[in-house]
Structure 1
Amino acid sequence: MSQPSAAPTVERNEVKHRYEILVDGKRAGLTAYRDRGEQRVFFHTEVDEAFAGQGLASRLVQEALTDVREAGKRIVPVCPYVAKFLNKHEEFADITDPVTPEVLRWLDTELG
C-alpha cells in the first residue's frame, strides 16, 4: 500500500514574489504578487494540470489572503482568479482595494 499523501502546504516565497502550494514537497501551484506600499497586488494564479480539480487554487488563495491580512497589508486583485475568489469570500472585503488604471500602469512597469 502506498503512503497517504501529506496535506498540501502553502508557503510565501518572498524572493520570487509568490505564494506556492506544495503537495508532497512538490510545487503544485502559485499565486504571484508585487508589493506596492501597503498593497499586495496579485496578478497571476496557476495550478499545474496534474493537480487540477483538487481545490488547490482556492486553498492557495485563501491562505495567501489570510497572510496578507496578518501582515497588515491590503489586497488588489488584478488576477481574475483572485477577484473571483474575493467575490465569494466577503471576509476579505475590508482589506480589498479596487484595481485602478494607476495600479495597472504601475504593475506593467514592475513586470517590465
Structure 2
Amino acid sequence: MTPSGATPSVQRVDARHRYEIHVDGVRAGLTAYRDRGDQRVFFHTEIDEAFAGQGLASLLVEQALGDVRASGKRIVPVCPYVAKFLTKHEEFADISDPVTPEVLEWLESARSH
C-alpha cells in the first residue's frame, strides 16, 4: 500500500490533541481529539492528498483506538470516519460511548479555548 520500504508510524501528540501518522518522517495525516474525563472525543481525521488511497486512515485510527484502550479511556466518535471505522471493528465496541448533545456542546466549547 505504501511505497516500498516506507513504514508508517503513529504517534500521540498530546500538546496538539491528536495522533499523527508519518511515512518516512513526513506527516501524512492526523486524527484530532479532546479528552473529557475518561472519554477521548475524536472529532476530525484527515490524510494528506499525497498519501490518499494507501489505507493510512484506517491504520491511524486503529492504532489511536488501541492507545485509547491501553490508557483506560473510552471512545466517543464525533468524527464521521472514526464512527464508520467503529461499525466495522466491533473489537472496540466495549469502550465506545454514543455521541450525545452534551458531548457536542462540550466539544464546541473545548475547541474554542
User: Does the alignment reach a TM-score above 0.5?
Assistant: yes
Aligned positions, number: 110
* 1:13 and 2:13 correspond: yes
Shift of 1:69: 0.1
Q: In 2, Cα distance between the equivalents of 1:43 and 1:62?
A: 15
RMSD of the alignment, in Å? Answer: 1.1
Amino acid at match of 1:16: R
Shift of 1:4: 4.0
Q: In 2, Cα distance between the equivalents of 1:101 and 1:65?
A: 22
Give runs of aligned pairs for residues 1-112 of structure 1, distance below 5 A. Answer: 4-112=4-112
Amino acid at match of 1:71: S
**TM-score under structure 1 length normalisation:** 0.96
Shift of 1:6: 2.7
Which blocks of at least 5 consecutive residues in structure 2 are unaligned? none
Amino acid at match of 2:100: T
Amino acid at match of 1:5: G
Amino acid at match of 2:87: N
Amino acid at match of 2:55: G
Q: In 2, Cα distance between the equivalents of 1:87 and 1:68?
A: 17
**TM-score under structure 2 length normalisation:** 0.95
Amino acid at match of 1:51: F
Shift of 1:60: 0.1
Amino acid at match of 1:89: H
**Identity within the alignment, %:** 75
